Amino acid sequence: MSAQGVPELEPAVVVDAVVVQYERVRALDGVSLTVTTGAALGIVGPNGSGKSTLLKTVAGLVKPTSGTVRVFGRSPGSLPAGSIGYVPQADDVDFTFPVNVRDVVSMGRYPHLGPFGRFSAHDRSAVDEAIAALDLGKLVNRHISELSGGQQQRAFVARAIAQEPRLLLLDEPTTGVDAATEESLLHIVRSLVADGLPVMMTTHDLDRAPEWFDRLIVVDRRVLADGTPRDVLESGTYASIREHTHTHGHARSEHP
């Protein structure tokens, strides 16, 4: 309980003084942040600033050189399978793999399958609901490589939703999508957050940050600003990031 008697939200993610070093390149340099349950955290910054690396570190895909990451009080790798839903940038996806849209969404259930790998009625229902939520019903039998960029992105978000994760990580989910898809994703993310799901999402769309997020951080290997979206957007830090983003475009690559 807070001093005012208001229940304090549980910290879903705690990142403490995290450093990630790739050979001679320091991708993250002492990053600290918290994300509470039922909150969406937006992550903005110039290309190559470490935003994607931050999500991968929280997901347990990248091990910190120093510092700690705790997700629901545990290291990411020690959580039960399927606890973290991670949607990477499209550049990280192999589209030659011979799967259709239903196959892709169904993969979200794999971490939960029993020893014989058989789908239960709940598994099938979770897949069907995710397909419907992302309006993919007419595309379920299409090969993933045959879809537009926006359709592919919807399929991978649907896979993460079908997983029923406790934490959702989205890396540039609106890159390359049309306005209707972006609105659909916005509605879905805000609905999930309202139901208590914590979300971390990187984006280049600074103008719509107040609609997407409860908190916003500016990252350039370190956390340069942290606050409500409007406070951050009105800060001098935001102005410099916006100029940098517009000058260098919306390139996807952030590796490292």
172 within some domain? no
For residue 207, the one-letter residue type is D
Q: How confident is the model over 31-55, as pLDDT tens digits?
A: 999 999 999 999 999 889 999 999 9
The residue out of 113, 140, 165 marking a domain boundary is 165
Q: Which of 58, 11, 12, 8 is nearest to 31 (CA)?
A: 58
195 within some domain? no
Instruction: Please tell me the predicted confidence (pLDDT) of residue 6.
Output: 45
Q: At what angle do helices 121-133 and 149-162 cross, to 10 degrees?
A: 150
Tell me the average pLDDT across 117-121. Answer: 89
Bigger pLDDT: 7 vs 36: 36
> What is the residue whose two structure tokens read 């929280």?
58
Is residue 245 scored above 60 in pLDDT?
A: no
Q: Of 13-17, 85-89, 148-152, 164-168, give the lowest mean pLDDT range.
A: 148-152
Query: In whole numbers, what is the pLDDT of the chain averaged over residues?
Result: 88
The pTM (predicted TM-score) of the whole model is 0.88
Is there a single domain that holds both residue 137 and residue 212?
no
Instruction: Please tell me the predicted confidence (pLDDT) of residue 119.
Output: 92
What are the tokens at 203? 């984006």
Q: Which of 185, 184, 173 is nearest to 149 (CA)?
A: 173
Residue ranges making up the domain that contains 207: 10-79+200-250
Q: What is the DSSP letter of 119?
A: -
Instruction: Please tell me the predicted confidence (pLDDT) of residue 97.
Output: 77
Q: How confident is the model over 148-165, as pLDDT tens digits?
A: 888 888 999 999 999 999
pLDDT confidence bin for 118, thresholds 50/70/90: confident
Percent of the chain surpassing pLDDT 90: 68
Is there a single domain that holds both residue 93 and residue 122?
yes
Is residue 7 scored above 90 in pLDDT?
A: no
Those residues whose C-beta lies under 8 Å from the C-beta of residue 75, and which sit 6 or more positions away, are: 60, 68, 69
What are the tokens at 216? 């916003």
CATH of the domain at 205: 3.40.50.300
Q: What is the DSSP letter of 201?
A: E
Is residue 60 scored above 70 in pLDDT?
A: yes
Percent of the chain surpassing pLDDT 70: 86
Domain count, the chain: 2
The residue out of 140, 165, 190 marking a domain boundary is 165
**8 Å CB contact between 196 and 190:** no
Is there a single domain that holds both residue 57 and residue 107?
no
